[in-house]
């Protein structure tokens, strides 16, 4: 029914254009891919991320040898952090973004089209619905996420 379909369409994910993506002026093209797929933008901001927020965001990677260089990279310039909403958006975004290592990401994915090395892979996408919830809470205040009706949303949900 329509109510369930609208409910399912409220899944959210956190997408971030990393400092290399911002520096290389890829923000517009990355946003365009999510727009044209049919997802709805419900929050967006440009941030100079601190090591504090990045350590929390990447907490699961704390023991990895590349952790410190990851924080240095991610705080080397502004990031554009966004929340996108829509049916199956978490899984769909991971597919659109491609594998962590751009060498393995097929052409047609964001990483496969715009990056070459794992340490500079242009974009972040939450990897699960629980992860997305935590990340959205970490980066955004509730009041900065807008609940708005997109005039075409009846064409991007399950019918
Ligand atoms: P994901 O971004 O595809 O979810 P994760 O394994 O969670 O992948 O890693 C987070 C980020 O850490 C990657 O996007 C990448 O920027 C960085 N990273 C992962 N593996 C390596 C590595 O082997 N060397 C350098 N950076 C890495």
Taking phi first (over 0 means left), then psi (-120 to 50 degrees means alpha), and beta for anything else, what does residue 41 get? beta
| Alpha carbon distance 38, 32 (integer Å) | 10
Q: Which of 20, 121, 126 to mutate to test the pocket of ligand 1 (most atoms within 8 A of CB)?
A: 121
Give the Å distance between the CA of 110 and the centre of ligand 1: 15
pTM: 0.97
Q: How confident is the model at residue 2 (pLDDT cuts 50, 70, 90)?
A: confident
* pLDDT at site 79: 99
- In this structure, are residues 100 and 118 in contact, taking their beta carbons and an 8 Å threshold? yes
Kindly report, residue by residue over 127-142, the tens digit of the pLDDT.
999 999 999 999 999 9
Q: What is the DSSP string of 55-105?
A: HHHTGGGTTSTTHHHHHHHHTSS-EEEEEEESTTHHHHHHHHH--SSGGGS
Q: What is the pLDDT of residues 108-125, one digit of tens each?
A: 999 999 999 999 999 999
Half-sphere exposure (CA, 13 Å, Cβ side) for 125?
A: 23
User: What element of type H or E holds 46?
Assistant: strand 40-47
Question: In this predicted model, which residue has the larger pLDDT, 158 or 71?
Answer: 71
- Using CA positions, which residue lies closest to atom 17 of ligand 1? 119
* pLDDT of the residue at 98: 98
């Amino acid at each position: 029914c329509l109510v369930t379909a609208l409910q399912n369409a409220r899944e959210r994910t956190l997408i971030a254009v990393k400092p290399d993506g911002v520096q290389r002026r890829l923000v517009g093209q990355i946003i365009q891919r999510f727009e044209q797929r049919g997802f709805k933008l419900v929050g967006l901001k440009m941030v100079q991320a601190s090591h504090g927020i990045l350590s929390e965001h990447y907490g699961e990677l704390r023991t990895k040898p590349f952790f410190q260089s990851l924080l240095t990279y991610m705080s080397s310039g502004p990031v554009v952090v966004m929340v996108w909403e829509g049916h199956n958006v978490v899984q769909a975004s991971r597919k659109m973004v491609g594998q962590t290592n751009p060498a393995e990401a097929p052409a047609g994915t964001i990483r496969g089209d715009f990056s070459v090395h794992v340490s500079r892979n242009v974009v972040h996408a939450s990897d699960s619905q629980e992860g997305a919830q935590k990340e959205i809470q970490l980066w955004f205040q509730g009041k900065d996420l807008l609940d708005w009706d997109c005039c075409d949303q009846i064409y991007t949900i399950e019918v």
